[in-house]
Amino acid sequence: MCGRFTATFEFSDIRVRWNLDRDLPTYTPRFNVAPETSPNVPVIVRQKGINECRLMHWGLIPHWAADPSIGNRTINARAETLTELPSFKNIVDRRRCIVPADGFYEWRKEGRRKVPMWVYLKTKEPFAFAGLWDVWRKPDGKRVESFTIITTEPNELMLIRLFQQITIGCVYP
């Protein structure tokens, strides 16, 4: 499960990498992107054959939701159940996106405390999470674009890095 990530890159880094048409002037690099504090996360969608970056709320609010609080429970979508769950099954084929990041946090138990481990590429270059997005309308008619990150079981490299004490980056509180 991805509950926090970093987006410390400059917008120009992702603009070139994902062939984005225009700037996103309100983007600011962040070391701690968390669902509860992140209504403005850069997300790349493909519209009319063009890659476009938009700022979205992390926590998918399906277009049919009566209440936006469902987004608190839909920050992640398990790849294994995407086509089964009502929040995701109707958008999995038409509302895909990527979420640029340059690292994410996983927690490892050390005695009684949990230590955040910052996982990133050795080059520290941006990469992307696969995601889904949707548009929900507030009662006043305003649009709220939101997304979820698709997760799956960790691969062998992640298991080795996190559970055999071989850390990429360790952040002590």
Confidence of residue 36 (pLDDT cuts 50, 70, 90): confident
User: How far apart, in whole angstroms, are the C-alpha atoms of residue 164 and residue 167?
Assistant: 8
Which pTM was predicted?
0.85
- Positions marked active-site: 2, 106
Are 77 and 132 in contact by the 8 Å Cβ rule? The answer is yes
Q: Where are the domains of the chain?
A: 5-163
User: How far apart, in whole angstroms, are the C-alpha atoms of residue 102 and residue 158?
Assistant: 16
Give first-to-last CA distance, the chain, whole Å. Answer: 21
Over residues 26-45, the mean pLDDT reads 87
5-163 under CATH 3.90.180.10, yes or no: no
55-90: buried (b, 16+ CB within 10 Å) or exposed (e) per residue? ebbbbbbbeebeeeebbeebbbbeeeebeeeebbee
